[in-house]
Amino acid sequence: MTIKNILLLLGMVLVHSIKAQHSISGNMAPAENLKWLIAYKLNATDQSYIADAAIKNGAFKLEIPEDAPIGMYRVVYAIPQDEYYFDVIYNGKEDISLSFDMQKGLEINASKENIIYHNYFKQTKELTQAIKQQYAKNSPNRKAIMNLFKQLNEVQKSYELEAKDLISARFIKASRPYVPTSYEDDATYYTNLKKYYFETVDFKDPLLQESGYFSNRVIQYVYNSFPAKPLPEDKVELELIENIKHVSEVYAPLDAEYKTRIMDDLWSTATKNNLDSTANFIYEQFLRDLAKSTNNSELIHKIDTHNRLKIGAVAPEVEWEEKGTLHKLSELTGHQYYVLVFWSSECSHCLNQLPKLQQGTKAFSIAKVVAIGLENDKDNWKMEAAKLPNFIHGVSLGKWNSPYVLTYNVTHTPTYFILNSDKRIVAKPDSYEEVVAFLQGK
């Protein structure tokens, strides 16, 4: 082989390599608060690491490996990772340029795939909200409603055509909304909306499974497919349960692990919105057996922890010794509220917050602070606890190996709980300021 041919071959390899490797780049705001990004590919029941990059003065560039698989990518920019992220489609054929603002959200600057995907969902959301607003009126404007349905139908057809041969087409087709051919009243429309909600969804599509699309679709169905006019609270609960039962029927083609993921997402949504009865129904009727059948001990632990520490639950017992006498949280009397705080004399944040907690709560005779030190030894704890004479003090040795770390799910110190006189949890403040604000409202 001649030198000319070798150089030509090397040039072709180089060109192929350049074309095969792509990036996700852009700007993040607020720049001063965001320092690093991690990109994962979403899978059916987990996620795979792809790349990471520093954020410098708000700018970043994630170099995607040449052999990286196509699919939905989750870009995490802070912790906890399940709260601070945004998703983009990586098709292996183009670079993605974007801007992300923690207040304003995500904007795609360059990537045909993602521009179509995000614009489609933005436009259909705006139209469906406008339809709901029309139906919510005492006298809905039939002409306006039918005009909105016409626009929705045109948008759907337009994006299906524009997304042809793209990954986004599978999401757009699966999301095809119900559009009546003639005017329907509120009750009829929402009955049909629910009836046809999953008609275009292919639950066997591996890409849709991996992307988390099914979970998002199911959550929207369960918690948002209600008539425009508000229902009484008792009927909302019944409607939610019927929606969940329907989901359990339509997701039959999925395997047990993916069903577990969907029910877990539904359960988490219920708990975040304080829908305790709905969360209990999901757990008792579906999630408990699914978690056991898939040996998902982490999920079982998460649910047990939530149930143990949810608002209204009796606080787990806490014991401590004082001058040779054993004391119990459950036996405390004389106050309307008890502020239970787990802290450490080696924690600088605690040493800053607890004196302020003492100062902020001393005016409230209805409350008493019970401070449990998670410590390696008692010496330093005794010295620091003495500076907080208004508190009831107890110590639990072993620090992060203390049994209360697990029982009360203590992931950082200080951790606060507010209990009523029956020792039921009534609030879980994140700071001493929130503790004081709670007491001020009583």
Reported pTM? 0.77
Q: What is the pLDDT of residues 190-226, one digit of tens each?
A: 999 999 999 999 998 999 999 989 999 999 999 988 8
Q: What is the pLDDT of residue 2?
A: 55
Q: Per-residue pLDDT averaged across 392-408, rounded? A: 96
pLDDT band of 82, cuts 50, 70, 90: confident
The predicted structure's pLDDT at residue 225: 85
Determine the pLDDT at residue 226.
Answer: 82
Using alpha carbons, select from 365, 369, 368 the residue that is nearest to residue 414.
Answer: 369
- Tokens 């045109």 locate to 154
CB atoms within 10 A of CB 221: 20
Mean local confidence (pLDDT), 294-316: 93
Domains detected in the chain: 19-110 (2.60.40.1120), 115-254 (no CATH), 325-440 (3.40.30.10)
What is the pLDDT at residue 13?
45
Among 224, 280, 219, residue whose Cα is nearest residue 251: 219
Q: Is residue 3 very low, low, confident or very high in pLDDT (cuts 50, 70, 90)?
A: low
Give percent of the chain with pLDDT exceeding 70: 95
pLDDT of 274: 85
Q: What is the mean pLDDT of residues 108-115?
A: 97
